[in-house]
Amino acid sequence: MKYRTLGRTGIQVSPYALGAMMFGAMGNPDHDESIRIIHKALDAGINFVDTADGYSFGESEEIVGKALKGRRDEVVLATKVFFPMGEGPNHGGSSRRWIVTEVENSLRRLQTDHIDLYQIHRPDPTADIEETLSALSDLIHHGKVRAIGSSTFPASQIVEAQWVAERRGLERFRTEQPPYSILNRGIEREVLPVCERYGMGTLVWSPLAQGMLTGRYRKGKQAVPQRFPGIAQPHFTDERKLDVVEQLVPLAEKAGLPMTHLAMAFAIAHPGVTSAIIGPRTMEQLDDLLAGAETTLDDEILDRIDEIAPPGTDAAPNDAAYTPPPVSEVRLRRRPVAERSAA
């Protein structure tokens, strides 16, 4: 593979990153098979592995740790912190208290003495970004972490974090991990330009739009996956997304490409994207994705994709991975009744 520089860190990473969310109870509970998948990805030239403490409640990190025995030095290892890992009110988030506690748990599960990229999994409106960056800076200074990053942060919060780091002399976020696919191009408006402006590497997740861009889900004949039984999954029946898919299928066929290869090649074609995260659950899925690793799209195909799914737009505008509190919390967008009536 042709490797790319991760922002301005000097670290060289593959354009495909192996995402480990599907290793463990959330996806493939077979540890031995998951380890074989990881090994095959490494043998194919992928040197970037991304996981998180919250994936299967730490099980994913444990599987990755076992898989990297004897191969740790050849891998750029990334993990994340934020989501609850216990019932206590302080067993999650981005406070110094939790970060310095949970990094030790991740290191233990991953069976390593350092993490190459430690990321804040989601913005935390309850924690001052200076508090978070200060804790992460200490981890770098202590040698437990090599670089730090954010995940699914709005552009405004990415900028704020950069400014705080500069003003306070703290380590700064070197990467951002946002969702990006043909169906979800919203980050092209602000997030990707901001990351480029600050020299941040970008590793995008869900380039296959949670499976919508595999070609398996079509109008009138899609079967909603049963990965999470009992949980509503309107994503797979959204008519706006299905309309886009119906136009992409003949485009891929004309180009002689599987839909998965079209989708992945699109994601890594953007100059602001360093790596796209693949998340295979089975060996067959990995084999399919690896077969398209050298696929490139010409301008004619990219122009046609732009016509089908306009740049900077999401096929389903409300399909956001993160909604800022001022939008979701009523108390932050409505004055108390007494104040509204006192004119």
Q: Is 38 helix (H, G, I), strand (E, B) or coil?
A: helix
Cβ(213)–Cβ(248) under 8 Å?
yes
Q: Could you tell me the CA-to-CA distances from 114 to 19, 76, 281, 283, 328 in Å, in that order?
A: 19, 11, 26, 28, 37
Structure tokens at 330: 């009523």
> Angle of helix 239-255 relative to helix 299-308, nearest 10 degrees?
160
For 13, the token pair is 């990473």
Count helices and strands in the chain by DSSP H and E runs? 12, 10
E strands along 206-312, which residues?
275-278
Residues tagged active-site: 55
Using CA atoms, how far residue 89 sits from 86, 95, 98, 133, 134, in Å, is 8, 11, 10, 21, 21
